[in-house]
């Protein structure tokens, strides 16, 4: 079976940290090549009240996912998205994540489809909140 590449949104990695079985299967299946934005890494590691144990679990998880740094092309793409969609719920952090998916030609895997479903430049793969375990 061919390996499939995805950019995962922060919420997917939070679900793994919560121990949700579907997220564990996604990350450990070996059938997927997973990427995340450096914005996601920042969001996970900057959570208020993060314990040393939680920080270590996040770092362990991030060793198995390719972290894509925000470069000039991604920054320009994010700026374009923010200008194109000014009357939407698009936040700067979400624009950077979407721009990463756009610039790297990766489908975005998320449970927060309302943050991204209006962005024509990306392929969105929403995951329902009620995934069967």
pLDDT in tens, 69-121: 999 999 999 999 999 999 998 999 999 999 999 999 999 999 998 999 999 99
Q: What is the pLDDT of residue 1?
A: 56
Instruction: For the chain, give the mean pLDDT.
Output: 91
Tell me the domains of the chain and their CATH numbers: 4-126 (3.40.50.1010)
Percent of the chain beyond pLDDT 70? Answer: 94
pTM (two decimals): 0.90
Tokens of 29: 């299946």
Is the Cβ–Cβ distance between 27 and 58 less than 8 Å? no
Distance CA 112, CA 18 (A): 17
Q: What is the pLDDT of residue 121?
A: 97
């Amino acid at each position: 079976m061919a390996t499939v590449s995805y950019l995962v949104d922060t919420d997917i990695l939070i679900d793994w940290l919560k121990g949700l079985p579907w997220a564990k299967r996604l990350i450990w299946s070996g059938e997927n090549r997973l990427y995340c934005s450096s914005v996601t890494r920042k969001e996970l590691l900057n959570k208020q009240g993060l314990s040393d144990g939680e920080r270590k679990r996040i770092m362990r998880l991030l060793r198995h996912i390719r972290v894509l740094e925000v470069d000039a092309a991604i920054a320009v793409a994010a700026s374009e998205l923010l200008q194109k969609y000014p009357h939407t719920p698009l936040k700067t952090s979400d624009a950077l994540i979407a721009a990463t998916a756009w610039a790297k030609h990766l489908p975005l895997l998320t449970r927060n489809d309302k943050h991204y479903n209006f962005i024509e430049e990306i392929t969105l793969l929403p995951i329902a909140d009620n995934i069967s375990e």
